[in-house]
Amino acid sequence: MVAKNNITPLKSASEPISREQIIDSYMDYVLEQEKLPKTVYKFCKDNNITEEQFYKFFGSFEGLQKGIWEQFFDNTMMLMEKSPEYGAFTNREKLLTFYFTFFELLTANRSYVLFILAETDGLTKSMDQLKGLRRKIKGYATALIKAGNEEKTSKILQQSELIFSEATWVQFVFLLKFWKDDNSAGFESTDVAIEKSVNTVFDIFDNTPLERVVDLGKFLWKEKMG
């Protein structure tokens, strides 16, 4: 379930294989072998599964890599929604909780994440494998703002779902790079960065006139496309 690096080996090709088992086996493989598998055939043979079982969940190793990031997101949401207090949180508290939980999961799998980012030539060139995660994070941010807007009687006070979701994604990429380079004990600096960046974004959206927010959105879009 992409929660730790202790992997349960796959046993028999005749037994049902889950998506999570394939993900765990792939992560274990790249860490044990210190390289990416070259072919689906060899990977499946080494893990005693069939190619048919692999392709049931993933069309390629690239698709599997994307799936791992998406699984990080899904596990984060599952953990948050288990908390009875989460539903009563403000949007600011929910986003803080999301980031803290997400990066806790990344830290539990830090060896894999650093390896895969290095193998794909760093964060900038790794954006292709983050496409599914980007869609999920933007969807989550959009849902937060949409719910908040529904509670506001004045349209003037409502916030742009598109701009906020894009700002959240840019913020996530910044935090991922910060976490990747963080050498502080227990990654305490990342926790501080999360809190400060989330508070800054919400302060901007809560206290800035709409035209200034639109300008921010244009800037973020330019940065993303640049």
Q: What is the dihedral of CA 39, 134, 3, 67, to 10 degrees?
A: -30
Q: How far apart are CA 158 and CA 154, in angstroms?
A: 7
Highest-scoring range by mean pLDDT, 2-6, 16-20, 75-79 = 75-79
Q: Rounded mean pLDDT of 171-180?
A: 93
CA-CA-CA-CA dihedral for 117, 10, 70, 189, to nearest 10: -50
Q: How confident is the model at residue 120 (pLDDT cuts 50, 70, 90)?
A: confident
Separation of alpha carbons 57 and 65, rounded Å: 12
More confident residue, 181 or 2: 181
Which positions ≥6 away from 199 have C-beta within 8 Å? 92
The model's pTM: 0.81
Lowest mean pLDDT among 96-100, 108-112, 218-222: 218-222
Full 3-state SS string of the chain: CCCCCCCCCCCCCCCCCCHHHHHHHHHHHHHHHCCCCCCHHHHHHHCCCCHHHHHCCCCCHHHHHHHHHHHHHHHHHHHHHCCCCHHHCCHHHHHHHHHHHHHHHHHHCHHHHHHHHHHCCCCHHHHHHHHHHHHHHHHHHHHHHHHHHHCCCCHHHCCCHHHHHHHHHHHHHHHHHHHHHCCCHHHHHHHHHHHHHHHHHHHHHHHCCHHHHHHHHHHHHHHHHC
Q: What are phi and psi of 43, to 5 degrees?
A: -60, -45
Mean pLDDT of the residues in the chain: 83
Give the pLDDT confidence score for residue 16 in this predicted structure: 80
